[in-house]
Amino acid sequence: MATLSMQNVTKKFGRNVIAVKDFNLEVKEKEFLVLLGPSGCGKTTAMRMVAGLEEVTSGNIFIGDREVTELPPRKRNVSMIFQNYAVWPHMTVYDNIAFALKLKHMHKDELDKVVKETAGLAKIEMLLERFPSQLSGGQQQRVAVARAIAVNPDIFLMDEPLSNLDAKLRVSMRTELKAIHDKAGATTVFVTHDQSEAMSMADRIVIMKDGEVIQVGSPDDVYHRSRTIFVADFIGTPPTNFLDVSIKKESDGTHLVNPHLNLLLEDGMAKHFNSYKKEHLILGIRPENILLVDSEKSALSAKCLVSEPQGSHQVVAIQLDDNIIKAIAPAWPTIAPGTDVHLNFKQETLRFFDPDTTLAIND
């Protein structure tokens, strides 16, 4: 196992398309790092550069203290799990796992031992003589995992490995992949566009957009301390609610005001604006941090547009002009559409964003 370091890595396709821009990343030993972002954000390209499947336009990549920037894939000692599994259809499961070991001229007995061990770890020891076409998608995925473990790589790369599985299997494979990672203690880079996958698996999440890193942090960090509007919007279902507000300083304290809202900030919160000179900001509030309150404590009153029961809770949608706010409320009592609802916010969870730079003000 080893660390991975990417320094000022840039990838251009042709002359004008910049897929990855000045990418800097340090992955610690045994860390499970997730590259997260919408499709086309460059996360897969970044990973493929680590694998050596894409050439680096500029910058350097180190695995441990080895520079691998110019090395071909086979000399990097990484292993990869592909989105479509990429198990070789003309080889049995055994041969798929043994492929890399044979190329390393591993002794037959040892090879046999390693193949059986890793097959056991991936729970496919009974399928060794089968061909991939005789396996289900989940089983093929396990073959890909076993193949990746068998070579004992420095870095594990996983390119959306769960996206081709059906929803239920995907969730259970998450747990297993994570368990295998913990058991093998492998440094892992995992690419996904599924934020819930990222949240549930990652030690740290790297959020990318348009080839650039927007935020790096633990799942808690990116969720509760989103650095930009993009991150706050991208992470979480339903996503963060945003309200355009203006700052009004009055005798009883600082108010955040818009035509629907009049929120008196608690003492600790107003200090975030001390160095902020603009009059407007964008208020970000997660749905679960919106409270349904009595009318006298209300900061915002409106009619319920629709309520979506989720079993354990309900999602209440409220229309403000052309903006829809979603709040999470207890499952009971159900709120009928058209009912007046009064909302207030858990103030310590509020995020304030600069409307021009979209960056968070309170950090």
Binding site for another protein (CB under 8 A): 51-53, 72-74, 78-80, 82-84, 86-90, 99-100, 103-104, 130-134, 147, 151, 157
CB of 162 to another protein, least distance (A): 16
Question: Shortest Cβ distance from residue 30 to another protein (Å)?
Answer: 21
For residues 73 and 52, is the Cβ–Cβ distance under 8 A? yes
How near is the Cβ of 107 to another protein at its closest, in Å?
A: 16
The distance of closest approach from Cβ of residue 103 to another protein in the complex, given in angstroms and rounded to an integer, is 4
Residue 60 and residue 50 in contact, taking contact as beta carbons nearer than 8 Å:
no
Pairwise CA distance, residues 353 & 363, whole Å:
11
Nearer to another protein among residue 90 and residue 277 (C-beta): 90
140: three-class secondary structure by DSSP: helix
CA atoms within 13 A on the CB side of 269: 19
Buried b (16+ CB within 10 A) or exposed e, 112-126: eebbeebbebbebee
Nearest residue (CB) to another protein, 146 versus 245: 146
- Closest CB 28 distance from another protein, rounded Å: 22
Least Cβ distance, residue 74 to another protein (angstroms):
5
> Considering beta carbons, is residue 72 or 268 the nearer one to another protein?
72
Choose between 151 and 205: whose C-beta lies nearer to another protein: 151
Q: Which is nearer to another protein, 48 or 255 (CB)?
A: 48
Rounded CA separation 249/252 (Å): 8
Residue number with CB closer to another protein (62 or 99): 99
Closer residue to another protein, CB minimum distance, 132 or 211: 132
Q: 187 exposed, middle or buried (CB, 10 Å; 0-12, 13-18, 19+)?
A: buried
- Annotate 238-259 with b (16+ C-beta within 10 A) or e (fewer): bebbbbebebeeeeeebbbebe
Cα dist from 298 to 19, 103, 286, 293, whole Å:
47, 69, 17, 6
3-state secondary structure of 27: strand
**CB 135, min distance to another protein, A:** 10
